[in-house]
Amino acid sequence: MAPQTWLITGASSGLGLHLAIIAAKQGNKVIATTRSLTRAQNITDKNIQVARLDQNEPLDKIKADVDAIVKVHGPIDIVVNCAAYVHTGILEDLTPEDTYAQFQTNVFGALNVYRAILPHLREKRSGTLVTIGSMAAWFAHPAASIYNASKAAIRWLSFGLASEVKPLGIKHLLVEPGRFRTELLKQDGNFRTSNGSDGIADYRAISEAVKEGIARESNKQPGDPVKGAQVIYDVVTSSGVAQGKELPEFLPLGQDAIEEITKSAQSAIDVCQVWKEIASSTDY
């Protein structure tokens, strides 16, 4: 396969960083974007160019930054939206500002990156969009409601986008990882929390249980981010373990993702079976 140009957001850590390294090692040009250039000082591969792109800025600024990237580096072939963070907290305790900020980064910002790059992809009638979602889109979890909801929102928004751009020669893949050993749960990384011991007393037991669970889980997640990034690369490029396979609509990543998504899908089927007679009685 001829070398391609990748644009990866949130590429200073986690799956984004490992994917950038893997893509570059295969001879591709990679533009690794980050909100702060100081966070990308660990990127040294000559095939990886670091650029500043903050998806929380206004759309006009994002468009200008993307246009500048294309002007310098040429046409983009593959866009990977990795930038995200986790905000935990009891829903009643979380502020409207907390909720908006979570959706701004995980949903609205990601969509604005696509709005900025799509004119370039439409012009050449080709390209691949890759959205990094989460298995969290498939289930609810106490004290993680706004994160799970943001991932559910980006899931269905990206599917809608996929159906709109497909006739234009542009592909889309949603990746829904399970628990990978990245910085996502590190307090000084891409993780924030609200309330806890200072929150509403009625919810304190739940808050403390979630806090303790995250502390136990951090840096002990079952997923290897290097292996995960390699699978993403193979699936996107139809190479390696995905040689000859068509790009799927979505890709569960990790054994835990397979198990949780299967369980959630089966639960929905079970509810439909139990209630189908009563639910169907409402038709004319």
Which domains can be identified in the chain, with CATH numbers? 5-255 (3.40.50.720)
Give residue-wise pLDDT tens across range 88-109.
999 999 999 999 999 999 999 9
Query: Whose CA is closest to 208, among 134, 137, 143?
Result: 143
pLDDT confidence tier of residue 195, bands split at 50, 70 and 90: low
* CA–CA–CA angle 133, 135, 141 (5° rounding): 115
Q: Positive or negative CA dihedral for 63, 68, 74, 78?
A: negative
pLDDT confidence tier of residue 188, bands split at 50, 70 and 90: low
Mean pLDDT score of the chain: 92
Give residue-wise pLDDT tens across range 10-56.
998 889 999 999 999 999 999 999 987 777 677 878 889 999 999 99
Q: Report the pLDDT value the prediction gives residue 192, as an integer from 0 to 100.
A: 72
Q: Report the pLDDT value the prediction gives residue 187, as an integer from 0 to 100.
A: 56
Q: Report the pLDDT value the prediction gives residue 120, as an integer from 0 to 100.
A: 98
* 28 Cβ contact list (under 8 Å, min separation 6): 3, 4, 5, 6, 47
* 48 Cβ contact list (under 8 Å, min separation 6): 20, 21, 24, 30, 31, 32
* CA–CA–CA angle 56, 58, 60 (5° rounding): 135
The CB density around residue 230, as the number of other CB atoms within 10 Å, is 16
Q: What is the pTM of this model?
A: 0.93
